[in-house]
């Protein structure tokens, strides 16, 4: 096995861990803001952003080293995988500017706009993080 493949094999589960951590932090941040604990909300969301950024760097590195991976299953499982993967990829593209905009508004204390944008950002970011874990599980552990 090549060094690139070995590194890729390590990065794949790491990416799932980073996605799961990001989803958890986003939900903690949401819970904190619902409790009116804006300091905890800010810390959790910035940690989620940092974790998601680490994921993106790790994912791009893994992709550069090992390329894309075909789903080995077939039938309804492959259809489900491709549906989840396609929605995950489409919404991942949307997530980046949404997260950057929402964070920017919060850091500049533009709270009404921050809340309006956050209402869209939170569920999409959570979905992308959770489905990232699901894609990993389906690709490496189910089929």
Domain annotation for the chain: domains and CATH numbers: 3-142 (1.20.120.80)
User: Encoding tokens for residue 23?
Assistant: 């989803």
pLDDT tens, 108-122? 999 999 999 999 999
- pLDDT score recorded for residue 59: 96
Q: Is the separation of the CB atoms in 77 and 143 below 8 Å?
A: yes
CA distance 41 to 31: 8
Q: Is the separation of the CB atoms in 40 and 32 below 8 Å?
A: yes
pLDDT tens, 43-84? 999 999 999 999 999 999 999 999 999 999 999 999 999 999
| Residue ranges in the chain assigned as alpha helix (H) | 3-34, 38-66, 76-107, 111-137
Please report, to the nearest 10 degrees, the dihedral formed by the alpha carbons of residues 24, 30, 35, 36 taken in order: 130
First to last CA, the chain: 22
Length of the chain: 143
pLDDT interval class at 35 (50, 70, 90): very high
Say what the pTM is. Answer: 0.93
> Based on the number of CB atoms within 10 Å of its own CB, is 120 exposed (0-12), middle (13-18) or buried (19 or more)?
middle
| 1 has a pLDDT exceeding 90 | no
Q: Given CA atoms 43, 46, 51, 52 in this order, what sign does their dihedral have?
A: positive
| 143 has a pLDDT exceeding 80 | no
């Amino acid at each position: 096995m090549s060094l690139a493949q070995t590194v890729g094999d390590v990065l794949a589960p790491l990416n799932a861990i980073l996605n799961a951590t990001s989803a958890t932090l986003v939900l903690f941040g949401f819970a904190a803001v619902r409790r009116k604990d804006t300091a905890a909300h800010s810390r959790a969301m910035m940690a989620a952003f940092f974790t998601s950024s680490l994921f993106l760097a790790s994912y791009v590195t893994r992709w550069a080293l090992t390329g894309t991976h075909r789903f080995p299953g077939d039938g309804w499982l492959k259809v489900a995988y491709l549906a989840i993967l396609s929605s995950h990829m489409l919404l991942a593209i949307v997530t980046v500017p949404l997260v950057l905009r929402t964070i920017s508004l919060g850091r500049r204390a533009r709270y009404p706009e921050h809340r309006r944008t956050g209402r869209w950002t939170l569920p999409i970011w959570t979905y992308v993080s959770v489905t990232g874990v699901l894609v990993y599980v389906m690709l490496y552990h189910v089929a």
